[in-house]
A and B are shown apart, each in its own frame.
Chain A
Amino acid sequence: DAKTTQPNSMESNEEEPVHLPCNHSTISGTDYIHWYRQLPSQGPEYVIHGLTSNVNNRMASLAIAEDRKSSTLILHRATLRDAAVYYCILISVYGNEKLTFGTGTRLTIIP
C-alpha cells in the first residue's frame, strides 16, 4: 500500500480555517486521495476525495499538489463538531479494496 504521512495533532480556533496536510510521495497515477474522519466514539466518516484536481463539497475542500505528492484538506470555518481524527488514505481507482488507516491527525478545536 502506498503510504501517507500526517502530523499527529493540530489545533485550531473555532470559526477559523484549518489546513490539514498529508504527504504521499509514493502515490501512483491510479491512486485516489481520500479523506475520512472519526469523531469521538463514532465510526469513520467519508469527507472528500480527489484524483488530480482540487475538489470542493459541503464538508471541505481538497487541494492537491501539481505533482500529487501531497494534499491538504481545508475546513473553511472549523466548528467544535469538527474535532476528530482525520485520515488521509490512498485508494486505487481499480476495484473496491480495503481502507488502510494510519494514525491520522487529531484535530482539536479551541472555543
Chain B
Amino acid sequence: EPEVTQTPSHQVTQMGQEVILRCVPISNHLYFYWYRQILGQKVEFLVSFYNNEISEKSEIFDDQFSVERPDGSNFTLKIRSTKLEDSAMYFCASSGPSGGANIQYFGAGTRLSVL
C-alpha cells in the first residue's frame, strides 16, 4: 500500500540553526500538507501546498518557515532559525486529486528537538 515517507525520524539541532524536514508524498497525490504536534497537545495545521504554491497557511507558519517541492517526489519544510518552541513532531500529509473526500495520508513524523 502506498505511504507517505518522512526523514529523518528524529532531528536534533541547536537553537538558531536551520533544519530541513523531508517528505515523500504518495506519488499521484496533488495536495501536500505539514502539521505539527507539540508533546501532549493537539495536531496543528501549518501549511498546505498545491500546484507549486502555498494554498493556505496558519499563524504558526511565519517567515521562519518555508516549503518547497524541489522535484517531482519530495516535499520539504525548512525552518530557517530554530527556536526552542519549535520542538515538536512534524507530520507531512498528502491527498489525491481535487474534489472527492480529501482523505489525507500522514507520514510517521519527524521528531524535532531544539536544544
Contacts and interface: CB of A to CB of B under 8 A. Distances in A.
B98 A96 contact: yes
Nearest to A87: B43
A98 B45 contact: yes
Q: Is the interface of A mostly helix, strand, loop or mixed?
A: loop
A104 B16 CA distance: 34
B95 A96 contact: yes
Interface stretch (B63-71, B72-80, B101-109): B101-109
A56 B102 CA distance: 18
A43 B101 contact: no
B18 interface: no
Interface of B: 4, 30-31, 33, 35, 42-45, 48, 50, 56, 58, 91, 93, 95, 98, 101-109
